[in-house]
Amino acid sequence: MTLSFHRRSIWPQGRSAHFLLFAACAASFAFALYAQHVLGLEPCPLCVFQRVALLAVGGWACLGMLAPAGGWRRGMAAGSLVSALAGAGIAGWHVRLQLLPAEQVPACGPGLEFMLETMPLTSLLKKVFQGSGECAAIDWTFLGASMPMWTAALFVLLAVYSLYLLLQRQPRRRLF
């Protein structure tokens, strides 16, 4: 007779784990909308791209909630990991622009809406990632950190959690 002990994880498993990731993205996006519409903070082009990355992480998490166990959920976790890493890169670039000395900050360029209407995608991406004065402005801080700093930290946490989901042990399927 052998005794076996089943180790129970304190972390959520399966669909509830993907729901937790989705809920974090939804809450973060709700705060972004609150900051824009209630606090009056208009998003710069890099902020818009960070929102797109956040929507992508949340979308992958939502698909992970709906997917059957196994490889499908791992695929959704991989998608959320890549999206979170992309968001962390964009937020990191945004923080870099904010930390530049005033004399090195690029001049303000046209708005994102104008660029979307008049530029090809490759030129638009190049222009946005060069940055502008509006992306370097710090309009809001909490505990001494700007919004892009908090967003970068959020994306790192989302990436770590997505990696956890990707490496999570999948339940064994029984045939009988």
- What CATH homologous superfamily does 14-167 map to? DsbB-like (1.20.1550.10)
Mean pLDDT of the chain: 77
- Delimit the domains of the chain by residue range: 14-167
Q: Using one digit for the tens of pLDDT, what is the confidence trace for 119-140?
A: 666 766 666 555 555 666 777 7
| pTM, to two decimals | 0.72
- Alpha-carbon distance of 151 to 7, in angstroms, equals 34
Q: Using one digit for the tens of pLDDT, what is the confidence trace for 2-61?
A: 544 445 555 556 677 888 889 999 999 999 889 888 988 877 778 888 988 999 999 988
Where do we find the tokens 């710090």? Answer: 138
pLDDT of residue 25: 92
Query: What is the dihedral angle through the alpha carbons of 133, 134, 136, 142, rounded to the nearest 10 degrees?
Result: 160
